[in-house]
Structure 1
């Protein structure tokens, strides 16, 4: 019997492709790979660009209607305003021993400002804190044409929403002239621009939706953007602004395990701190076990 020996050749991946694919097949494969690589990039690029009328660039006058977080900035406590009763006041009249929840809106606004104030009141109700006990509220108008009557009307709605007895004495709605408005907006980094309303009159303002927390001595502490705010974040911010003079022991423990993120405007879990606490507890438990094991048993009396 004649046995034929066949030489077995080991192919690597490149050899297999080279021997099994014809030039035409290789061309189609290359085209397919390029197609699958390029199309997702084009799709992403198209998704990043608005379609239709939305593709237009944002109007130039809106470019300056934003917020710059000026944490630690000193507020102009000598700026002169008028409260909702028509009484002349200074901003510093409201900064004493409690943190301040601060908002800048205008009282004739029929769109964004009421939503900001509504979200602020709803969140503060759920913090478990009360105006006059743990914090005060200051809402200052950015419109020099707003009047104390406008401030009083808006204040009444917010006081009713908070539903706290005696809260009105610690909720302050202010109007003022342009120099005081500009000084406060500059210190908080709150930018706004006058824009035309539906009737074409320049009596509206474009601005950010944000509420702020200030320390009792008048320094900027925290910013929260949007129209809905997390009660837990507001509670933590008030505790921090008070230099931890308010809040419970559990608040302080939870606050230690969280970090405030200025870019996100909220508190996030501090993983390293939690791991540090867990490691400390583990070492403490190990030391306790070793101590118990090293103790000599007590002799039993006869």
Structure 2
């Protein structure tokens, strides 16, 4: 009973206050960014293809140059997925920094509760580029390259056909744009990280470059069909709804009110039960 009340208090007050304040600020920031976005970014958005299967038969090379089907990187754990390009020095590093920062605070660990797949959208990227990008990511994540967990973090490159299939399956739209030298060697794309189920279906999309650790944790738990996480996480999932249009979790007021009513009934029942019990002296007589 005390555990339920403690979890309920966390759900009601902790989530209600923290999420409302953070999401209000995030929505304001995203709204300002959308108003100032260049025209060409309108063609570089995201379609949330929830439950859509990924092209697991398409082949990609990992950072060591080993060419494998995409399905090789799935099977046991949900996957954190990001589409970037490794020569990028602008938005992509910010997406990967935000992913690493949030994952460090989830309490989960690569190889135990999830895998990481970062795929390049640039067919000219090489395994050497992927190796450098992975080393930088491991430093941000705080995982040494010699740690067994690093084997669950995959930086992939592939041919244009495989990239096209993966981008289409994830709903990730991007376009080539000219770089400072005038060459079409840069890409305009959205900043988003995605979560896929162990069998390779799209589960969640989290927008922006700063991802709330609680959102990431809940998304991984849902993608795993709640095979990971704690009882408290289960209550938090009940208290929150994933909102595809916002790419984040929001508090479900109706569900919290339902928990409040349940808690009130349990508390009232407990009080009635205790008041109805006779003292030991009266039972003896």
The TM-score by the shorter chain falls in which range? 0.7 to 0.9
Q: Which runs of 5+ in 1 are unaligned?
A: 1-47
2:49 & 2:283 partners in 1: Cα distance?
71
The CA distance in 2 between the partners of 1:110 and 1:295, in whole Å, is: 71
What is the deviation of 1:296? 5.8
Deviation at 1:284, TM superposition (A): 2.3
CA distance in 2, matches of 1:83, 1:300: 75
Distance in 1 (CA, whole Å) between partners of 2:80 and 2:284 is: 69
TM-score w.r.t. length of structure 2: 0.82
Q: How do 1:17-32 residues align onto structure 2 when only pairs under 5 Å count? A: none
CA drift of 1:300 comes to 5.5
Residues 159 and 167, structure 1, Cα contact 8 Å, conserved in 2: no
Is 1:142 the counterpart of 2:121 in the alignment? yes
- In the alignment, the residues of structure 1 paired with residue 269 and residue 212 of structure 2 have an alpha-carbon distance, to the nearest angstrom, of 40
CA RMSD, 1 decimal: 2.1
**Quick one: distance in 2 between partners of 1:295 and 1:119?**
56
Task: Report the Cα distance in structure 1 between the residues aligned to 2:179 and 2:103, rounded to whole angstroms.
Answer: 31
> Which structure is higher in RCO with an 8 Å CA cutoff and minimum separation 6?
2
Question: Which of 241, 248, 255 is 1:259 aligned to?
Answer: 241
| 2:207–2:248 CA contact under 8 A, matched in 1 | no
1:83-135: CA deviation from partner (whole Å, max 9, x where unpaired): 11011111100111100000000011111111111111111111111100100
More helix by share: 2
Q: Does 1:156 align with 2:135?
A: yes
The 5 A counterparts of 1:109-258 are 109-164=88-143, 165-258=147-240
Which has the larger Rg? 1
Q: Find the residue that maps to 1:63 and give its secondary structure.
A: helix
- Residue of structure 2 aligned with 1:75, choices 35, 54, 57: 54
Distance 1:222 1:301 in 2: 62
TM-score using structure 1 length:
0.78
In structure 2, distance between residues paired with 1:300 and 1:93: 69
Where structure 2 has 5 or more consecutive residues not aligned to the other structure, the ranges are 1-31
